[in-house]
A and B are shown apart, each in its own frame.
Chain A
Amino acid sequence: GAVVSQHPSWVICKSGTSVKIECRSLDFQATTMFWYRQFPKQSLMLMATSNEGSKATYEQGVEKDKFLINHASLTLSTLTVTSAHPEDSSFYICSAKKTGISYEQYFGPGTRLTVT
């Protein structure tokens, strides 16, 4: 199998605080992980590509200082939303690509973030 987990599954935080979301590949190694954001009734939008041991690559329009990504091991990537605001409320989904030549992405269950 290729199972990806996310923690937490949902989180509520106050405006101005920071929130960390974890993405783990449970039964495979993932050199590359991806972070997506999905607003209601909109398609998934790629935020950044996370590479183990190196800096993440952010998509145009995504603030790297606000969305901190750390991919410290082959099975874990974290996304920290710093100084969260209500407009950051969204569904965050990560995916992981198996180390090697496969390009298929395996998706986590998502994290619902609500900023009050």
Chain B
Amino acid sequence: KQEVTQIPAALSVPEGENLVLNCSFTDSAIYNLQWFRQDPGKGLTSLLLIQSSQREQTSGRLNASLDKSSGRSTLYIAASQPGDSATYLCVTAGNNRKLIWGLGTSLAVNP
């Protein structure tokens, strides 16, 4: 049974810092892995999707990597801004396409 763990659970950094959010998963037989952003009391915004055959994806200041063999993914945020404050969710899709969600990392970027 797939389990997705995100570390740290919460993170507070000053504006401008580069930071890394970690996601680990127990079953490496995934179809893809996706990172979402969730603002308090709101829905989900898809940030990056990495197919199982890919190693990384980049979008603006965001870079996500995937290492299936070790069951790890990282989300790198460069030059963080207060507007980046949100909860970041990691989710895997298995070969049955079922989504398994992590609990998220709550990020606060302080001006």
Q: Taking beta carbons and an 8 Å cutoff, which residues of A are in contact with B? A: 6, 41-46, 91, 93, 103-110, 112
The residues of B that contact A91 with a CB separation of less than 8 Å are: 41
The residues of A that contact B102 with a CB separation of less than 8 Å are: 43
The residues of B that contact A104 with a CB separation of less than 8 Å are: 49
Looking at chain B, what size class is its interface with the partner chain? 10 to 19
Residue B101 contacts which of A41, A43, A103, A112 (CB distance < 8 angstroms)? A43
Closest to A106 in B: B46
The residues of A that contact B93 with a CB separation of less than 8 Å are: 103
Q: Is the CB of B43 within 8 A of A107?
A: yes
Q: State whether the Cβ of B97 lies closer than 8 Å to any Cβ in chain A.
A: yes
Residue A110 contacts which of B4, B42, B98 (CB distance < 8 angstroms)? B42
Residue B43 contacts which of A41, A43, A109 (CB distance < 8 angstroms)? A109
A102 to B99, CA, bound (A): 14
Q: State whether the Cβ of B109 lies closer than 8 Å to any Cβ in chain A.
A: no
Residue A43 contacts which of B41, B49, B104 (CB distance < 8 angstroms)? B104
Q: Separation in Å of the B7 CB from the closest CB of chain A?
A: 14
A112 to B103, CA, bound (A): 19
* Listed A/B pairs (6) with beta-carbon separation below 8 Å: A43-B101, A43-B102, A43-B104, A105-B99, A107-B46, A109-B42
